[in-house]
Amino acid sequence: MRIDYHMHLEYGDYDETWVQGFFDAAKSRKLDEIGFSEHTHTFPDFEQLYYDDLIVDASPTGIFQRKWLQTNKFKHTIQDYFDFAHRLQERHAVKIGVEVCNFRDQAAVKKILDAWDFDYRIASVHFLFGWAYDTKALIDEWQRRDLRAIWAEYTSEVERLAASGLYDVLGHPFNIRLFKFFPTFDVTEYLERVAVALKNADMAVDVNTGTMYRYPVAEISPYADFMKVAAAYELPIIITSDAHNPEDCGRFHDEAVEYVRAFGYDKVLRFSKRQREFVNLS
């Protein structure tokens, strides 16, 4: 099967005409099933958690991030999302997922998530030290901070998310490479720790082509060194595009299939109400 479970609707709206583009792209790339994974910053339920965790002080980073939080965020309730997705499901093979940021307060996250019947939950490390490290406008922080501390913090955040037991998938692992700040130190420990955390939490790896076309690194995440470790630990995978624009749904899917096959993978996960099954890659 060909499945893509990671895409976002925030550049458009809950509008069937606009969303049709995702299904058209899926069809042209011969995908059997897609799934939306709305960011938690779509939903007002999570708003306070962002203000609790992100730097929103008078520093340049704080000012930028406050503005970011005030732009095009928290615009639909989770109920709106489910209602819209259920309407789509009358005509399309589409699953209802969510991509959850790495909030400090996992008990609060659990309370919100458990009220809803998501098909799958992706957890992604989007912030380190309260900084949205994947934001181009905040790239200066990369120069200011110690790269080893960034890798260590990233790893600890994954361990924390995994230990919560709330998630099915880790989104785009090690996308901290996205701006090409590559470590010159040995990262084996970090790769191993992330793999162990995922294994213990029974979480899958999101093989995400978004970093191929959305960021300077232009490679699929996770990168090969982690894929080797993931394969050694027999971590299950999904293959996704992280499409924010309809035409990107399924983008580089063929390349990703070839990529994972090179590490011995011949199956991906299919989700339904957080029950998973292995299906053959095609």
Binding site for Zn ion (CB under 5 A): 99, 124, 171, 242
- Residue 78 C-beta: closest distance to Zn ion, Å: 17
Cβ proximity to Zn ion: between 55 and 122 the closer is 122
Cβ proximity to Zn ion: between 90 and 247 the closer is 247
Give the separation between CA 191 and CA 174, rounded to whole angstroms: 9
Residue nearest to Zn ion (CB): 124
Residue 222 preceded by cis peptide, ω within 30 = yes
Cβ proximity to Zn ion: between 129 and 278 the closer is 129
In a 3-state reduction of DSSP, which class is residue 2? coil
Q: Are strands 120-124 and 94-101 parallel, antiparallel or unpaired?
A: parallel
- Residue 240 C-beta: closest distance to Zn ion, Å: 8
- Find, among 168, 164, 261, the residue nearest to 220 by Cα: 261
Cβ proximity to Zn ion: between 171 and 250 the closer is 171
Cβ proximity to Zn ion: between 242 and 248 the closer is 242
- Residue 171 C-beta: closest distance to Zn ion, Å: 5
Give the separation between CA 178 and CA 133, rounded to whole angstroms: 9
If you search the block for the tokens 């938690």, which residue do you land on? 40
- Residue 37 C-beta: closest distance to Zn ion, Å: 6
Q: Which pair of structure tokens corresponds to residue 101?
A: 């940021």
- Residue 6 C-beta: closest distance to Zn ion, Å: 5
Give the separation between CA 194 and CA 190, rounded to whole angstroms: 6
